[in-house]
Structure 1
């Protein structure tokens, strides 16, 4: 059995590559983004970036790197991170990167399980998964072992965030590493600090059975709102087709 440390709403979004107004495949995606909106405690939203543009494959038990990009207290503050962006280039002039587009939403739990922690989720939308969810490896339900990297530990060349981007943790969280390079995501408030680096490892398709938690009940709580109501983002800038129909847009 496991102990739930935190639960809330989870949203998956993808940001198209610069100049790609219409996405037809993963090749035209620049980043996979994950928003965690806890239900209890201090109001906050965390925007996470998954390093390989898709989630780890469960059966392969892949290890993927990610990091906390932004932590805000109000949904409107996420607008800057999700909105369209204009770029000025020397060779090609002004270019547009479209807004991030929602691909799935549901409920999540962060759970302590033996000597490690899991991030588990179950989807509410889309009702039928399609090409975006399959290529992004977003399962209807899944569990990932998640660990936090010690920001004071060195990284191999070319791996992880550069020095200025690394998290500066309060003393009580830094002590959780006990000098090690990694620690469980316990407590989840590690995620309240921008620049925190994570490793996700595919663990199980049936997260409810593996962890002994009722994700169906969590999804019923999450179903009150969609990403557009909860995060207060506009449907004009963030097309709804991937979320509602399971099709690229």
Structure 2
């Protein structure tokens, strides 16, 4: 059995590439974003970025990198990270990047299981996942072993954030590493610090069975608001089809 360390709402969004007003495949996606909104303790929202613009493949036990991009106390503070952007360039003039588009939502748990920690989730929307969810590898339910990288340890070439972008952890968290490069995500407050890097490893499609937790009950508790209400982002400038009907847009 697992011990639940934290639970809350989870939201997935994708950021289209610059100039791509209509997305038809993963090729037109720049980033996959994940927002974690815990239910208890100090209310906060954490914005995570998936390193390969999709989640790890469960069956292949893929190992993917991700990092905490921002930690805020109010949804309005995510506005800059999720809004549309206009860029002025000398060669190509003004360039437009659409706002981040919601593609899935549900409930998540961070659990301690044996000597590991897991991030597990189950979706509430879309009811029927389609091409966006399949290509981004957002499963209806999934579990990932998650470990946190020591911000004072070097990363392999071409992987991870540059030194100036890494987290500066308080002493009580930094000392948990000792001489190790990675530790479990225990406590989850590691994620309360921008620049924290982690590794996700796909482990199971049926997270409830693997971890002995009731994700159905978690989703029922999460069904109070949609991503539009919770993050206070406008529907007018963001297509709802990816979230509601499982279609690229």
Partner of 1:127: 127
1:14-163 alignment runs, 5 A limit: 14-163=14-163
SS in 2 for 1:224: coil
Q: How many residues align?
A: 249
TM-score w.r.t. the length of structure 2 is 0.99
**How far apart, CA to CA, are the structure 2 residues paired with 1:150 and 1:8?**
25
**How far apart, CA to CA, are the structure 2 residues paired with 1:60 and 1:89?**
41
Residue 236 of structure 1 and its aligned partner are, at CA, apart by 1.3
**How far apart, CA to CA, are the structure 2 residues paired with 1:26 and 1:16?**
9
**How far apart, CA to CA, are the structure 1 residues paired with 2:179 and 2:70?**
26
**How far apart, CA to CA, are the structure 1 residues paired with 2:242 and 2:190?**
30
**How far apart, CA to CA, are the structure 2 residues paired with 1:187 and 1:144?**
16
**How far apart, CA to CA, are the structure 2 residues paired with 1:232 and 1:114?**
38
1:170 equivalent to 2:147? Answer no
Residue 93 of structure 1 and its aligned partner are, at CA, apart by 1.1
Does the Cα contact within 8 Å between 1:83 and 1:237 map onto a contact in 2? no
Partner of 1:200: 200
Runs of 4 or more, structure 1, over 4 Å off, are: none
TM-score w.r.t. the length of structure 1 is 0.99
Partner of 1:223: 223
**How far apart, CA to CA, are the structure 1 residues paired with 2:34 and 2:196?**
14
**How far apart, CA to CA, are the structure 1 residues paired with 2:38 and 2:207?**
19
Please, which runs of 5 or more residues in structure 2 have no aligned partner? Answer: none
Please, which runs of 5 or more residues in structure 1 have no aligned partner? Answer: none
**How far apart, CA to CA, are the structure 2 residues paired with 1:90 and 1:37?**
40
1:190 equivalent to 2:190? Answer yes
**How far apart, CA to CA, are the structure 1 residues paired with 2:86 and 2:198?**
29
